[in-house]
Structure 1
Amino acid sequence: MKLYEIAHSRTGDKGNISVISLIPFREEDYEMLKKQVTAERVKEHFSEIVKGGVTRYELPNLHAFNFVLEDALGGGVTRSLAVDMHGKTLGFALLEMEVEM
């Protein structure tokens, strides 16, 4: 199934860094997402966009994750020629990732 079926996302940016949160609709899905949505898998999912590293931060009290994607916005808002310079669509792009229930 696609992540959007069990989770939602928010995004932010700072310079050439995109931050994507992943929040499951149900708390009980947190552990499954913890196993399947790794930093390595997110890096692979965004391999055409993210030129730097990907770090995953676990927020167990919130049952959520924060992913920091470095060198992901084509130089940042003031330098990028991308239509989505802020990377707001990257949150939905992450939700296209498939996971197994």
Structure 2
Amino acid sequence: MKLREIAHSRTGDKGNISNISLIAYKAEDYEVIKNKVTTNKVKEWFKDIVHGEVLRYELPNIGALNFVMYDALGGGVTRSLSLDMHGKSLSSILLDMDI
């Protein structure tokens, strides 16, 4: 199943760091997401984009995970040659992951 079937996502950025939240639609799906969407899997999923560390923060009270990805925006908003300098489309890319 695609991650988008049980969760939605939002992104943010600061410099060359991208931040992706992953929020379960239903409380019972949080554990599935927590177990299947690891930092290693996210790092591998974004291997062509993210060149730094990936950290994961768990927010069980709201059924969410927050991934902070370093060296992820081609040098940052003011330096990137990417069409999506802020990395807003990264949330859609994450939701396309098979779990």
| TM bucket normalised to smaller | over 0.9
Tell me the residue number matched to 2:33.
33
Instruction: Please show how residues 29-68 of structure 1 align to structure 2 within 5 Å.
Output: 29-68=29-68
- CA-based RMSD: 0.4
SS in 2 for 1:61: helix
Tell me the residue number matched to 2:21.
21
Letter of the 1:60 counterpart: P
Q: 1:39 & 1:63 partners in 2: Cα distance?
A: 17
- Long gaps (5+) in structure 2: none
Following TM superposition, the consecutive aligned residue runs of length 4 or more in structure 1 with deviations greater than 4 angstroms are: none
SS in 2 for 1:87: coil
Q: 2:94 & 2:58 partners in 1: Cα distance?
A: 16
Q: 1:98 & 1:64 partners in 2: Cα distance?
A: 18
Structure 1 position 44, deviation (Å): 0.3
Q: 1:5 & 1:33 partners in 2: Cα distance?
A: 11
Tell me the residue number matched to 1:4.
4
Letter of the 2:95 counterpart: L
Q: 2:82 & 2:22 partners in 1: Cα distance?
A: 23
Q: 1:50 & 1:12 partners in 2: Cα distance?
A: 15
Structure 1 position 83, deviation (Å): 0.2
Tell me the residue number matched to 1:78.
78
- Long gaps (5+) in structure 1: none
Letter of the 2:56 counterpart: R
SS in 2 for 1:91: helix
SS in 1 for 2:49: coil
